[in-house]
Structure 1
Amino acid sequence: MTFLLWLSQTAPVVWARESDSVWGYPTILFLHTFGLSLLVGFTAALDCRVLGFAEHLPLAPLERFFRFIWIGFWINAISGVALLIMTPTKLFNPAFAWKMAFIGLGVVNTLYLRRLAFRNPSSTIGVTATAKALAATSLVVWGGAITAGRLMAYVGGFR
C-alpha cells in the first residue's frame, strides 16, 4: 500500500487525477468503459447464442469474438490499474473486492465456456446443457462485476 500511495502522488498521476484536461482522468475512464463494452458486449452476444438465441447462426464463426473479448479485458485491466493508482484507497472498498471476485469468476467461466462450446463448434449435435449453464452463469457474473464496479462510488465511505 505504501508503494501505491507514493505512486498516487507522482506528478503524472496527480496531473491525470486533478487536471481539467480531457486527456487525464476522463480519457482513462473512457478507456475503462470502452474495454468493458468490448468485453461484456461480445461475451453477452456469445452467451446469448449458446443459450439458444439466433440458433440459425452457426456457432463456429463466433469463436472470433474471443479476440475482442480479450482485447476488452486487457484494456480494462490496464485502465483499471491506472484508476486504482489514482485512488489507492479503493483497495479497501468492499465493492472492489466483490468486483475482483466477479472478474476472476468471469475469466475462468469464459475460458471453460470456450473450451466446451468450441471443442467441436461445427458439430450438429448442438450446445450441451453444461455450456448453456456456463453461458447463463457468465451473464450473471459479468453483470455482478459491472454492478460492483458502479457500487464502488457509493459504498465503503471512499467517495
Structure 2
Amino acid sequence: MSEFAAVWKALEATPVAASVRESLWLFPAIETLHLLGMGVVFTSIAAFDLRLLGLAFRTVRVQDLAQRLLPWTWTAFALQVITGALLFASEASRMAINPAFRLKMLLLALAGLHALVFRFTADRADVRLAVDGRPPVRARIAGTTSLLLWIGVVAAGRWIGFI
C-alpha cells in the first residue's frame, strides 16, 4: 500500500475529511447513519435470502419480494457508500492498512459479485419459486452464500475499530 500512502494523506488533508475527523459530533453522526444504513441493507438482503432458503415469506413470490425490497436496499446502500466514503476519508491512511477494513471490502466485493452472478445466471425457475414450494438447490445455495457473505461484511465492519 506504500504507493498509495501519498493519496491517502492527500485525502485526509481535504477540508471535508478534516471536518469529519476533527468535529466532536460529525464523525459519530456519520457513523450512526452508516450503521442505520447497514441495518437496512442487511435486513432487506437477509429477508430475500431467507426466502431463497424457504425459511421466510413462503407465501410471497421471489420476484414480488425483490420488487418490494430492492428500493430499500439500493437507497440504504447509496447511504452506505456516501457515509463510508466520508468515514474512510477521515482516516484513510489507517483504514487502508486495517485488516478488518480490507476484509470488509473484500467480502463486500464478493457479495456484489455473487449478486450479479445470481441475477444474470439464475434460471427463471429459480427466480419464480412456487409459493409454499421447496426452493431449488441452486436458490438455497445462493441464499446461504449471500447470507454468509453479508454476515461477514457486518462482522468485519464491527471489528474495524478494534484492530
TMscore range, shorter length: 0.7 to 0.9
One-letter amino acid of the structure 1 residue matched with residue 61 of structure 2? P
Instruction: Give the superposition deviation at 1:69.
Output: 1.8
Contact 1:51–1:132, Cα closer than 8 Å, also in 2? yes
Structure with more helix by fraction: 2
| Change beyond 3 A, Cα 1:5–1:56 | same
Q: What is the aligned partner in structure 2 of residue 82 from structure 1?
A: 86
Query: Quick one: percent identity of the two aligned structures?
Result: 27
| Change beyond 3 A, Cα 1:123–1:135 | closer
Larger deviation: 118-127 or 104-113?
Answer: 118-127
Instruction: Give the superposition deviation at 1:43.
Output: 0.2
Paired residues for 1:1-159 under 5 Å: 1-21=5-25, 24-53=26-55, 54-64=57-67, 65-88=69-92, 89-115=94-120, 119=124, 121-122=127-128, 124=130, 127-155=135-163
| Change beyond 3 A, Cα 1:140–1:104 | same
**Which structure is higher in RCO with an 8 Å CA cutoff and minimum separation 6?**
2
TM-score (norm: length of structure 2): 0.82
Instruction: Give the superposition deviation at 1:17.
Output: 1.5
Instruction: Give the superposition deviation at 1:12.
Output: 3.0
Instruction: Give the superposition deviation at 1:45.
Output: 0.3
Q: Which runs of 5+ in 2 are unaligned?
A: none
Larger deviation: 93-102 or 125-134?
Answer: 125-134
Instruction: Give the superposition deviation at 1:76.
Output: 1.2
Instruction: Give the superposition deviation at 1:110.
Output: 2.0
Aligned length: 153
Larger deviation: 78-87 or 4-13?
Answer: 4-13
Instruction: Give the superposition deviation at 1:95.
Output: 1.2
| Change beyond 3 A, Cα 1:63–1:117 | farther
| Change beyond 3 A, Cα 1:113–1:140 | same
One-letter amino acid of the structure 1 residue matched with residue 103 of structure 2? W
The DSSP-based 3-state class of the residue aligned with 1:52 is: coil
